[in-house]
Structure formats: C-alpha cells, structure tokens
C-alpha cells in the first residue's frame, strides 16, 4: 500500500505535538487516515462466538469458547489453484446488494473431513455449497460453522477427503457494497450536474478479500483468479487482467457480464475490480505494456502527468529487476474515496485522487512530486510484493521498505531535477528517526496475527525506516551486487512467497561472488541487528587530542529522551569516512562490531589538520557525534566554504547537531548546535534549509511564548 501522507510533514508533526502531545501520534496521524479496521469491535470480546448452522433444519447453535490464545492462521489442508469468481453488485442508492458465486479448484494436502476458509460480512446460501471432484460422488455438506473472531467459515463434510485429491468447492452468497473503504465497497462523486454517482471498487490489503468472496485469505495461498463482473450496460468494469469477452446477462436485460482473462498466480489481497462510469485515459507512448489512467469524467486533463510518466517508470523497473512486467496491461484509477494513498493491486493500481491527479497551474510542485513518488512506489511493488510476496504480514517491512527505497530511484528516472536522492534524507530518514528515536518505537519485524495487529503494521517503521535500512544495504553491498542478488531472488521465488532470510541468502551469495567485505558476517547477521531491534545508534568519532591522525569510534543507542537503566543495544554498523568530497578514493569503509568496545583506527586520516566526516551521503541509518576538535574543524569549514562538504552531509550535520543537543548527547548542547547552524546564512541549497526548518519548528513550538522563544526568533531571523 502507498502511504496516506497529504499534509506537509511539519504541519502534521506540529499538530500532533500540540494536540496529541506524543511523537508516536505522528505515525498514527499520517498513516491512519483509514477508518478503524472493520470488525474491531468484535475483537474486544474476550470470548469467541461460534455459530453453527445445520443445513437440513436451519438450526443455529452458538457455543462460547474460553478466552486464550486464538489461532488466526488457516490450516494448510488445502492449496487453492483457481478461483472462479462471479460478482454482480447492484449500484443504486438504497440497494447495494452483491450477488456472488465462487468456485475454488484446489488440492487436498492432508486427509480431513472439513474445509476451513475465510469469509466476512456475507450470507452464504447453505444449500448451494457443493464439493465435487473425481471419487467425490455422494459427498455431502453435513453442516457449516462460522467463527466471528477468526472469520473462519468451516464446511463439515459427510466423508473424508484424501491427500492428493483434486476438488472444486462452490457456493453462492449475498454481500453488500459497504461504505467502510475495505472489501468490495462503494464510493461516490458529484457529476457536472451535481448528481451523486456511485462506483463500486475494492481494497483488500491486508485482510478484506474475504468480504468480497470466500477465500483462503492469507498471502501465501497463491492461486489464479478468473473474474467475471456483472454491470449495467452504461458502466464499464476493470480488473487485474484484460476482459476476454462480454456477454448479455441471462435474465437482467440492463446488465452484461464482463469475463476476464485468467490471472497469473497471486495472493488474494492483490485482487481488484472496479465498476464505474469513469473515463479511460490511455498513456500516449506506452511500450509493451498498455497503460491507462481512469478518472471520473471531468478530471481527464489531470491524469496527463500520470499517463506521461508511468510507462517510463515501469520500463525503468523492468530494467532494474531484469524481469519483464508479466501482465499485458497496467491500469491505474483515481478513486474519490480511498483509505490509504494507493494500492498496488496487480495490473490495477488504485489511488486516492490526490496521489495521482495533477493539474498544471493549479497543483503545487509538492503535489507533482507526491504523484510521481506514489506511482513509482506502486510500480515497484509489481515485482517486490506482487511477483514475489512475503510469506506472512510480520514481514510487511520488507515489502513496504523495498517500495519506499525504490520510490526515489523510479522518480529520479523521470524527474532528475527533483533530486529525489537528496529529498529522501528529510522525507524518509530524518522523518522516521524522530519516531524511531523513542523508547516506545518498535522493531521492523513485528508479530501480527489478527486483522487489527496486521493493520497496525502499516506505519513509518515499515515504510521509511525499512527503506532507509535497505538503502544502507545498497551502500555496503554496492548497487550492482544488490541488483544482481535481487534479480536472482525474484527469479527463484516467482509467483511464490519468501522470507527475509531467503533474500539474505541470495544477497549473501552475490556478495561472496564479488568478494564484498562483510566483516566475516552474513547479510542476515548484519540486517538482524537493524530489523530485530528498535531505535538506531549514535556513532561517536573522537580524535586523539595527542595525535590527530588517530580516531576512536564507538556506538551507543540513541534515545531522544534518555533515562536511567535504559537497555543497551548494539548494531553491526557500516562506517564510511571522508575528508575530501571532491576525491572519491578518499572515502574509507570500516565495520563497527555490535558491542560497546570502541574501535581505534590509525589509517583513516590523511590530513591530520582537516575535519573528518562520518556517514558519507547519509547512507548509514545512524547519527554521528564528534569530539570538540573535529566539531570545531567542521564548524570552521561550514563558515568559510560550506560547499566543500556535500549537501546531504550538510543536512546531516544540521539534523544530527540539533537532535543530539535536544537528546543531550552533544557536549555543549544547543550552543554547539546553534553555532554550527549559523552557517545557514550562506546556504543556498534547499535540503539543509528544509532540515533546519523542520528542526527549528519543533524548537519554536517547545519554546513558544517564552523569553527563550523570543531570542530564538531573533537568532533565526538573523540567519
Ligand atoms: C436489490 O436489487 C435486486 C435486483 O434488482 C433485487 O433482487 C433485490 O431485491 C433488491 N434489494 C433491495 C434491498 O432492494
Ligand atoms: C478468450 O478466452 C478463450 C478461451 O480461453 C481464448 O481462446 C480466446 O483467445 C480469448 N480471447 C481473447 C480476446 O483474449
Ligand atoms: C506530458 O508530456 C508532454 C509531452 O512531453 C508535455 O508537453 C506535457 O506538458 C506533459 N504534461 C504534464 C502534465 O506533465
Ligand atoms: C522502554 O521500553 C521498554 C520496552 O522495550 C519498556 O520495558 C520500558 O519500560 C520503557 N522505559 C521507559 C522509561 O519508557
Ligand atoms: C531456488 O533456489 C534454491 C536454493 O538456491 C534451489 O534449490 C532451487 O532449485 C531454486 N528454485 C528455482 C525455481 O530456481
Ligand atoms: C553480535 O552479533 C553476533 C553475530 O550476529 C551475535 O551472535 C551476537 O550475539 C551479537 N552480540 C550482541 C552483544 O548483540
Ligand atoms: C565520485 O563517484 C560518483 C559516483 O560513482 C561519481 O558520480 C562522481 O563523478 C565521482 N566524483 C569524482 C570527483 O570523481
Ligand atoms: C585522493 O585520495 C587518495 C586516498 O586518500 C589519495 O591517495 C590521493 O592523493 C587523493 N587525490 C587527490 C587528487 O587529492
Ligand atoms: C600518530 O599516530 C600515527 C599512527 O598511529 C603514528 O604513525 C604517528 O607517529 C603518531 N604521531 C605522533 C606525533 O605521535
Ligand atoms: C568552495 O569550495 C568549492 C568546492 O570545493 C570550490 O569550487 C570553490 O572554489 C570554493 N570557494 C572558495 C571561495 O574558496
Ligand atoms: C565539553 O566542552 C568543553 C568546552 O569546550 C570542554 O572543555 C570539555 O572538555 C568537553 N568535554 C568533553 C567530554 O568533550
Ligand atoms: Zn506500499
């Protein structure tokens, strides 16, 4: 999913500080534009209600289960192969009934006399449930039961299914086009005459495919999907695949069936369909893949930017991954009511309008950048997430981290003047460090079982922190090694799922092939210290006052509000040092091991009387503090000729100094930070100013109305 950021970040951050009073709330404000996950009222119950329906008598019995460890994972008795789904929604005010039929072709893996799958908010017609297949003549449905907590629908059979059997399970049901922005839902807009027009659309990630059709609704039950959609003749439908043919409805003269091509194997959460009266805007110069952006009538012009850039970004990722986009087309659609920023459904990406529509002369430059970023994010998912999917939601960070990391590369291809690599620093790294510097942060990998826990995972740790850690990996592996390892991984796991450990293996093999220095560790050893632990380190670089060529480097957990007895964490830190940004070969790399033990280096410094800067272009996900001597040298350089220091490292110095001061790591606290940042009066680059602006805003909010606040304003006006 794409994130839902629409407000300027400083505003969101300021608003959260003022009105909510906690930095954790930033994540919630930004990501939870979506409604509370459906069904949340059910899970506050401590007992589970199981409703049993016996087909013959229609008698319903309700049994109570004691609270305790509830297993939300489906049994693995079956593997679905093909879903044939036929849906006809009535899209009329007052009647949003969905008529549904599903047939699931599947293989039985273990002998069993019942079938368990997911449903939510639907009425299955008991008498239509059928199990068929070779040797299954006479197999009857004995009764069914439904557990509201786990959303398990269990079909108890009159006999046993045997491992290895192929069977088809089919049923008909009624559901409703809901208004909760999840499952198969309705959205509306006002046409030029002021009339309200409804459309029917979907949002399944993470656990809402089960609201549209009965299914094995977990990412590692991949199957093919053959979708058929019923619609009124004056509307159109789109889905993941192209339409194969359209036929009249048997007994509803105003309706037709659109029968779609069978999809590639994919997870249920990636299925999508939309029925609307929208306009199709084809991309002008699409390549192999047909690209179009759909919008409500009247917004056609605003799709131009998206249609302009999509094919180029798509081709960029084909080249990046060395794997062609596997579907014949890529539709994108601007949905008037949408919970997240966008959703990467394979071949049919859905967007909230502000994340894809752009009107030249009206929309801001920031709007344009957001459109480019969200498009690149969703297109990256077509490989990383769709082609190869993480095995379970606890690895969401890998999926979202890669899409976030690749966003700026995709945009860079079409909009180099946006300088996305530089912007990544404030938009992702510095932004998430504000949250991840809190003791209440959490590791990238998080256990999640029920839908509420899964929905909670879509936060800045999963997006921006993971993306930043992956960008750090690019730097210590090398971009070409990373790409080759990724390609091998994707080719190996195509149309399947994988875990992070599988990816680390492939990257490790490639690193070995090219003799990359990993300090004798595996990629997993290194990445585990970043993904399994919350927070990040502050690296302290100290020059020996007796001998400036010698440096001592150590690490400490960074916490923005330090407290007695805080647990220490240690990371495998890839260090980079530079003394001359105009000379690439003066860049030096070292590994700092995961302990409190400092490392002493005598072979890093070439120029004893010149500054040294650690964390070249902020590839590393950590802050850096120096001793007084080196801070002084940096300060003098900034004052005399700041352009000798790379613009990303200037922004790094601003952010690190102000945050180390605020968290009380910096020896001279705010004096040092204000002395360092006073160089900004000479700064003409956007990036360090944006960094400073974000930080000074926080400071001004803290000091607002105080004497110190007034002095701060004087100081800021001066620079
Ligand atoms: C909705 O429309 C369908 C098809 O016309 C009809 O069968 C059904 O009874 C209607 N439901 C309601 C609640 O009006
Ligand atoms: C539609 O499906 C049929 C049967 O699978 C196939 O033979 C035919 O080529 C398809 N038509 C189109 C237009 O894709
Ligand atoms: C789309 O591309 C065309 C041709 O390159 C260009 O003239 C036009 O300004 C672009 N439109 C937008 C909205 O970027
Ligand atoms: C810090 O977080 C840990 C959990 O990781 C918790 O046990 C501890 O109480 C927290 N300390 C403070 C001071 O918030
Ligand atoms: C994937 O990689 C594993 C381990 O390297 C190998 O055993 C397996 O055959 C590969 N599978 C495919 C489909 O390439
Ligand atoms: C350091 O990393 C190694 C290898 O990853 C691990 O075995 C060890 O437990 C770690 N030590 C600490 C103090 O975290
Ligand atoms: C340093 O390396 C970068 C990336 O490889 C390259 O773009 C740049 O031109 C090099 N700079 C110098 C001064 O060699
Ligand atoms: C670049 O740095 C390398 C390594 O520090 C050094 O040997 C070389 O003399 C430097 N080149 C220039 C032109 O300063
Ligand atoms: C400083 O340290 C370096 C490296 O250890 C050494 O070669 C040099 O002699 C030392 N200089 C002084 C003045 O001690
Ligand atoms: C400042 O440094 C830049 C980059 O090294 C250099 O091009 C410029 O000439 C320097 N300016 C002055 C006034 O020394
Ligand atoms: C802190 O800064 C003061 C003032 O420059 C200096 O005297 C002192 O040695 C510094 N302390 C440390 C631990 O660097
Ligand atoms: Zn995403």
Q: Relative to the alpha carbon of 88, which ligand is closest?
A: 1
Question: Tokens at residue 214, please?
Answer: 């009965």
CB 50 within 8 A of CB 147: yes
485-487-490-494 Cα dihedral, nearest 10 degrees: -140
378 a catalytic residue: yes
CB 90 within 8 A of CB 97: yes
- Write down the residue that tokens 């690296």 correspond to: 539
- pLDDT the model gives residue 667: 79
- pLDDT the model gives residue 2: 80
Tell me the mean pLDDT in the region 692-716: 94
CB 664 within 8 A of CB 562: yes
Question: Tokens at residue 377, please?
Answer: 């994010």
**pLDDT confidence tier of residue 1, bands split at 50, 70 and 90:** confident
- pLDDT the model gives residue 7: 40
CA 2 to CA 4: how far, in whole Å? 7
Does 377 belong to an annotated binding site?
yes
Mutate to test the pocket of ligand 8, among 606, 608, 610, 613 (most ligand atoms within 8 A of CB): 606
Cα 617 to the chain's mean position, in Å? Answer: 24
Within 13 Å and on the Cβ side, how many CA atoms surround 75?
Answer: 14
- Ligand 8 contacts CB of residue 586 (under 6 A): yes
Dist. CA 497 → ligand 5 center (Å): 13
Q: Say whether pLDDT at 40 is over 80.
A: no
pLDDT one-digit tens code per residue, 389-433: 999 999 999 999 999 999 999 999 999 999 999 999 999 999 999
Dist. CA 155 → ligand 1 center (Å): 28
**pLDDT confidence tier of residue 68, bands split at 50, 70 and 90:** low
Dist. CA 48 → ligand 12 center (Å): 33
**Which residues, in sequence order, are bridge partners of residue 223?**
266
Helices (H), 514-643: 523-531, 628-641
What residues have CB less than 8 Å from 271, skipping those under 6 apart? 202, 204, 209, 212, 225, 227, 239, 240, 263, 345
pLDDT one-digit tens code per residue, 368-397: 999 999 999 999 999 999 999 999 999 999
Question: Which residues are within 5 Å of ligand 12 (an ion), measured at CB?
Answer: 1, 400, 403
- pLDDT the model gives residue 668: 77
CB 527 within 8 A of CB 572: no
Name which of 7-21, 505-519, 570-584 the model is least confident about.
Answer: 7-21
In the chain, % helix, strand, coil (3-state, to 5) comes to: 35, 30, 35
Question: Tokens at residue 211, please?
Answer: 């609201």
Nearest CA owner, ligand 10 atom 13:
641
Percent of the chain scoring above 70 in pLDDT: 91
Q: Say whether pLDDT at 44 is over 90.
A: no
CA 574, 579, 580, 581 torsion: positive or negative? positive
- Ligand 10 contacts CB of residue 582 (under 6 A): yes
Tell me the mean pLDDT in the region 241-257: 97
CA 591 to CA 583: how far, in whole Å? 21
**C-alpha dist (Å) from residue 77 to 60, 165, 215, 446:** 26, 11, 14, 26
Q: Say whether pLDDT at 47 is over 80.
A: no
323-324-330-336 Cα dihedral, nearest 10 degrees: 10
- pLDDT the model gives residue 402: 96
- Ligand 9 contacts CB of residue 547 (under 6 A): yes
Q: Say whether pLDDT at 26 is over 80.
A: no
Question: Tokens at residue 480, please?
Answer: 């070409």
Report the candidate in 287, 275, 205 with the shortest Cα–Cα distance to residue 243. 275
pLDDT one-digit tens code per residue, 593-628: 999 999 999 999 999 999 999 999 999 999 999 999
Cα 122 to the chain's mean position, in Å? Answer: 29
Q: Do the bridges between strand 255-260 and strand 224-232 make them parallel or antiparallel, or are there none, so unpaired?
A: antiparallel
Tell me the mean pLDDT in the region 291-318: 96
Dist. CA 308 → ligand 3 center (Å): 6
Strand, coil or helix: what is 398?
A: helix
Nearest CA owner, ligand 2 atom 4:
244
Report the candidate in 352, 348, 349 with the shortest Cα–Cα distance to residue 336. 352
Question: Tokens at residue 245, please?
Answer: 């043919």
CA 536 to CA 437: how far, in whole Å? 7
> Hey, which of 6-10, 22-26, 118-122 has the most confident mean pLDDT?
118-122
Nearest CA owner, ligand 8 atom 5:
586
Tell me the mean pLDDT in the region 650-677: 93
Question: Tokens at residue 458, please?
Answer: 């879509």
Q: Which atom of ligand 6 is nearest to the CA of 595?
A: 13
CA 63 to CA 197: how far, in whole Å? 43
pLDDT one-digit tens code per residue, 322-341: 999 999 999 999 999 999 89
Rounded to the nearest integer, the mean pLDDT of the chain is 91
Cis, bond preceding 206 (omega within 30 deg of 0): yes
- pLDDT the model gives residue 50: 52
Beta strands (DSSP E) in 177-325 are 183-190, 196-203, 224-232, 236-239, 243-248, 255-260, 273-276, 279-282, 290-295
Q: Relative to the alpha carbon of 641, which ligand is closest?
A: 10
pLDDT one-digit tens code per residue, 197-227: 999 999 999 999 999 999 999 999 999 999 9
Within 13 Å and on the Cβ side, how many CA atoms surround 614?
Answer: 29
- Ligand 8 contacts CB of residue 603 (under 6 A): no
pLDDT one-digit tens code per residue, 524-564: 999 999 999 999 999 999 999 999 999 999 999 999 999 99
Pocket residues: Cβ below 6 A from ligand 6: 525, 570, 594-595
Does 567 belong to an annotated binding site?
no
Question: Tokens at residue 614, please?
Answer: 């650690």
**Which residues, in sequence order, are bridge partners of residue 352?**
335
The sheet with strand 112-118 has its strands ordered as 59-65, 48-54, 141-147, 152-161, 112-118
- Ligand 10 contacts CB of residue 130 (under 6 A): no
3-state secondary structure labels for all residues of 675-708: HHHHHHHHCCCHHHHHHHHHHHHHHHHHHCCCHH
Strand, coil or helix: what is 491?
A: helix
Q: Which atom of ligand 7 is nearest to the CA of 584?
A: 1
Dist. CA 392 → ligand 5 center (Å): 20
- Report the chain's terminal Cα–Cα distance, integer Å: 40
Dist. CA 605 → ligand 9 center (Å): 11
Q: Which atom of ligand 9 is nearest to the CA of 603?
A: 4
Q: Relative to the alpha carbon of 562, which ligand is closest?
A: 4
Q: Which atom of ligand 10 is nearest to the CA of 582?
A: 5
- pLDDT the model gives residue 130: 96
Dist. CA 547 → ligand 9 center (Å): 6
Q: Say whether pLDDT at 13 is over 60.
A: no
- Ligand 7 contacts CB of residue 582 (under 6 A): yes
Report the candidate in 664, 706, 673, 708 with the shortest Cα–Cα distance to residue 692. 673
CA 368 to CA 420: how far, in whole Å? 13
**C-alpha dist (Å) from residue 210 to 202, 340, 414, 429, 661:** 11, 19, 38, 36, 50
Report the candidate in 211, 266, 261, 218 with the shortest Cα–Cα distance to residue 241. 261
Mutate to test the pocket of ligand 2, among 224, 245, 262 (most ligand atoms within 8 A of CB): 245
Does 381 belong to an annotated binding site?
yes
**pLDDT confidence tier of residue 65, bands split at 50, 70 and 90:** low
Report the candidate in 325, 355, 317, 440 with the shortest Cα–Cα distance to residue 22. 440
- Ligand 10 contacts CB of residue 637 (under 6 A): no
Domains of the chain (ranges, CATH numbers) = 49-275 (2.60.40.1730), 278-383 (1.10.390.10), 393-531 (1.10.390.10), 536-717 (2.60.40.1910)
Q: Which atom of ligand 10 is nearest to the CA of 641?
A: 1
CA 249 to CA 226: how far, in whole Å? 18
Tell me the mean pLDDT in the region 662-675: 89
Tell me the mean pLDDT in the region 92-105: 96
Largest interatomic CA distance in the chain: 93
215 — phi, psi (to 5°)?
A: -160, 165
**C-alpha dist (Å) from residue 194 to 191, 197, 282:** 5, 9, 27
Q: Which of the residues 315, 378, 484, 683 is marked catalytic?
A: 378
Q: Say whether pLDDT at 128 is over 50.
A: yes
Q: Say whether pLDDT at 286 is over 80.
A: no
Q: Say whether pLDDT at 364 is over 90.
A: yes
- Ligand 8 contacts CB of residue 300 (under 6 A): no
Nearest CA owner, ligand 1 atom 11:
95
Dist. CA 256 → ligand 1 center (Å): 17
- Ligand 8 contacts CB of residue 585 (under 6 A): yes
């Amino acid at each position: 999913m794409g994130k839902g950021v629409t407000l300027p970040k400083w505003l969101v951050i300021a608003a959260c500080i003022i009105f909510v009073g906690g930095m954790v709330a930033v994540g919630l404000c930004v990501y939870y534009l979506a409604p509370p996950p459906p069904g949340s009222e059910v899970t506050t119950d401590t007992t589970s209600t199981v409703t049993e329906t016996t087909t013959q008598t229609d008698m319903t019995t309700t049994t109570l289960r004691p609270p305790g460890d509830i297993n939300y994972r489906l049994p693995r008795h079956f593997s679905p192969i093909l879903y044939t789904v036929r849906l006809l929604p009535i899209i009329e005010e007052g009647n949003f009934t969905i008529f549904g039929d599903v047939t699931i072709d599947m293989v039985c893996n273990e002998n069993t006399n019942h079938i368990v799958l997911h449903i939510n908010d639907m009425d299955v017609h008991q008498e239509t449930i059928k199990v068929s297949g070779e040797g299954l003549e006479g197999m009857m449905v004995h009764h069914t039961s439904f557990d509201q907590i786990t959303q398990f629908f269990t079909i108890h059979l009159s006999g046993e299914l045997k491992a290895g059997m192929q069977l088809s399970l089919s049923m008909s049901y009624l559901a409703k086009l809901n208004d909760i922005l999840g499952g198969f839902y309705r959205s509306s807009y006002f046409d030029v005459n002021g009339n309200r027009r409804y459309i029917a659309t979907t949002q399944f990630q993470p656990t809402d495919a089960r609201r549209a059709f009965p299914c094995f609704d977990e990412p590692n039950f991949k199957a093919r999907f053959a979708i058929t959609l019923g619609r009124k003749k004056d509307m159109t439908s789109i889905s993941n695949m192209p339409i194969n043919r359209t036929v009249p409805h048997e007994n509803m003269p105003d309706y037709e069936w659109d029968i779609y091509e069978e999809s590639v194997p994919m997870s249920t959460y990636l299925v999508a369909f939309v029925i609307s009266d929208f306009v199709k805007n084809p991309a002008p110069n699409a390549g192999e893949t047909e690209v179009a952006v759909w919008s409500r009538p009247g917004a056609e012009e605003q799709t131009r930017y998206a249609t302009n850039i999509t094919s180029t970004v798509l081709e960029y990722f084909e080249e990046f991954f060395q794997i062609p986009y596997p579907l014949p087309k890529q539709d994108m659609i601007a949905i008037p009511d949408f919970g997240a920023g966008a959703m990467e459904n394979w071949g049919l990406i859905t967007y909230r309008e502000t994340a894809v529509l752009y009107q030249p002369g009206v929309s801001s430059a920031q709007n344009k950048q957001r459109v480019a970023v969200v498009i690149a994010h969703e297109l990256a998912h077509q490989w990383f997430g769709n082609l190869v999917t993480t095995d379970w939601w606890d690895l969401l960070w890998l999926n979202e981290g890669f899409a976030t990391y690749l966003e700026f590369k995709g945009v860079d291809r079409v909009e180099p003047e946006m300088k996305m690599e530089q912007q990544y620093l404030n938009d992702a790294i510095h932004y998430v460090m504000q949250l991840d510097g809190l003791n209440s942060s959490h590791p990238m990998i998080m256990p999640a079982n029920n839908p509420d826990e899964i929905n909670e995972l879509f936060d800045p740790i999963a997006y921006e922190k993971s993306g930043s850690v992956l960008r750090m990996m690019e730097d210590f592996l090398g971009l070409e090694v990373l790409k080759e390892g990724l390609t091998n991984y994707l080719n190996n796991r195509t149309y399947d799922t994988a875990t992070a450990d599988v990816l680390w293996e492939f990257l490790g093999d490639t690193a070995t092939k090219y003799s990359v220095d990993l300090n004798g560790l595996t990629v997993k050893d290194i990445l585990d210290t970043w993904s399994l632990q919350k927070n990040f380190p502050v690296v302290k670089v100290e020059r020996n006052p007796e001998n400036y060529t010698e440096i001592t480097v150590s690490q400490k957990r960074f916490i923005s509000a330090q407290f007695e007895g805080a647990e220490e964490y240690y990371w495998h830190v890839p260090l980079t040092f530079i003394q001359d940004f105009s000379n690439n070969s003066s860049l030096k790399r070292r590994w700092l091991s995961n302990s409190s033990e400092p490392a002493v280096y005598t072979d890093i410094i070439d120029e004893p009387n010149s500054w040294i800067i650690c964390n070249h272009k902020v590839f590393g996900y950590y802050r850096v503090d120096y001793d007084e001597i080196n801070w002084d040298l940096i300060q003098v350089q900034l004052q005399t000729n700041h352009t000798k220091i790379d613009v990303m490292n200037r922004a790094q110095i601003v952010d690190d100094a102000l945050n180390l001061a605020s968290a009380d790591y910096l020896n001279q606290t705010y004096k040092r930070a204000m002395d360092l940042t006073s160089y900004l009066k000479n700064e003409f680059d956007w990036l360090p100013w944006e960094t400073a602006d974000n930080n000074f805003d926080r400071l001004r909010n803290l000091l607002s109305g105080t004497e110190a606040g007034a002095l701060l304003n004087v100081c800021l006006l001066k620079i």
